[in-house]
Chain A
Amino acid sequence: DAMVIQNPRYQVTQFGKPVTLSCSQTLNHNVMYWYQQKSSQAPKLLFHYYDKDFNNEADTPDNFQSRRPNTSFCFLDIRSPGLGDAAMYLCATSRDPGQRGLPRSGETQYFGPGTRLLVL
């Protein structure tokens, strides 16, 4: 089955110790997204890749970086995690709606199961 995979499902790190979360997809979608979701809050977009083009949200802290070495993989790097970075991190993918004009039903995003990050 085509899908979005996130590893690990749970990640524990220490305050200030760099951590990397990974996402892979078999959907061959050219757009990939990273969201941060804190408890009882809305998923918040951190950044997204449009093919190799990186698009950062204006309010995403510099502490968060991303890499996309190829179509299938995307990584979220947190350079110096703080206690406030503990959250669920969701990866999502989509096709590019612009390449085919207006989508019929709203081009949807496909989500992975998320990685829950705990910072000690």
Chain B
Amino acid sequence: DQQVKQNSPSLSVQEGRISILNCDYTNSMFDYFLWYKKYPAEGPTFLISISSIKDKNEDGRFTVFLNKSAKHLSLHIVPSQPGDSAVYFCAAREYGNKLVFGAGTILRVKS
């Protein structure tokens, strides 16, 4: 049973526009949510996170929004750049530092 779901396997966006990647979760005990970015032939790298007690966290072009009542979070990238093309994984933290991952969304930014 998937506790973290990324329902869009892929997303294509024009350079300069906004990219919105979505993630849903089922476990209300998750206390942190993270986004990881993965390029081909590399491991996932941490991008941005948000605590469950917040609803927004911003870092440069990247903003993560959390809607706890809907058990939904989203990653906004604006403006999108070709170098942002990668697989984006949503992850949620359980007790300790165990992470539960979604299946990922492939983002393609077209120039």
Q: Is A51 an interface residue (CB 8 A)?
A: no
Neighbour of B99 across the interface among A4, A45, A50, CB < 8 A: A45
Measured as residues with beta carbon below 8 angstroms from the partner, the interface class of chain A is 20 to 34
Q: Shortest distance in angstroms between A49's beta carbon and chain B's nearest beta carbon?
A: 12
Cβ contact of B49, chosen from A45, A94, A105, cutoff 8 A: A105
Docked-complex contact A106 and B43, CB < 8 angstroms = no
Q: In the complex, A70 Cα to B78 Cα: how many Å?
A: 43
* Contacting residue for B96 out of A35, A98, A105, CB 8 A: A98
Q: How many A-B residue pairs have CB under 8 A?
A: 60
| Closest A residue by C-beta to B103 | A42
Closest-by-CB residue of B relative to A111 is B43
**Are B102 and A113 interface neighbours, CB within 8 A?**
no
Mark interface residues in A89-120 (1 if CB within 8 Å of B CB, else 0).
01010101110000001111111111000000
Whether B99 contacts A96 by the Cβ 8 Å rule is: no
Chain A interface (Cβ within 8 Å of chain B)?
4, 6, 9, 31, 35, 40-45, 48, 50, 90, 92, 94, 96-98, 105-114
In the complex, given contacts A42-B104, A97-B97, what are 18 additional A-B residue pairs having Cβ atoms less than 8 angstroms apart? Answer: A6-B43, A31-B97, A35-B101, A40-B9, A40-B103, A40-B104, A42-B89, A42-B100, A42-B101, A42-B102, A42-B103, A43-B89, A45-B100, A98-B96, A107-B97, A108-B34, A108-B49, A114-B43
